[in-house]
Amino acid sequence: MEVSEITEQQLKIAWGRLDAAKYPFDGGFYKDSVSRAYYSMYHAAVTILTLKNIKVRRHSGVLRMFGLHVIQEEDMEHYHAKSLKFAKGGREKGDYDIFVEISEEESETVIDDAEKFLKRVEGLIEKIEEGAAGG
């Protein structure tokens, strides 16, 4: 399978997860909303790592490799790494901590950050693909 096909499919999944985050948000299910928004960011991060020929197996590996190979190489701003980490923490709290409550505001922040993240990833993908085509 071509990298471009994988990239296209990963981005499709990422945007689908972001869309899916809005339904539970509208219903007041903020834990589920944060989880879906995190997964949208996760799939987008995996897309970039795939383009850089970096394979990861775990969520923690995605964050680590994203930090090393995307943020530290100054392909994306630190804000996006922080928002990915925050969303991952929210997803873990919401999925595994039966006593935690996630507020509407927190959920809305994660969804907004996820949308910014996906748009920034799309811009980076264009840059990477242009560099590969031109160089």
Domains and CATH numbers, the chain: 3-125 (1.20.120.330)
Res 74: pLDDT: 80
Taking the model in full, what pTM does it have? 0.92
Q: How far is CA 2 from the centre of its chain?
A: 22
Res 72: pLDDT: 84
* Cα dihedral: 60, 65, 71, 76 (round 10): -90
Residues near 94 by beta carbon (within 8 Å), at least 6 away in sequence: 30, 31, 32, 34, 35, 100, 102
- 16-59 pLDDT, tens digit per residue, is 999 999 999 999 999 999 999 999 999 999 999 998 899 998 99
CA–CA separation, 1 and 34 (whole Å): 31
- 86-114 pLDDT, tens digit per residue, is 999 999 999 999 999 999 999 999 999 99
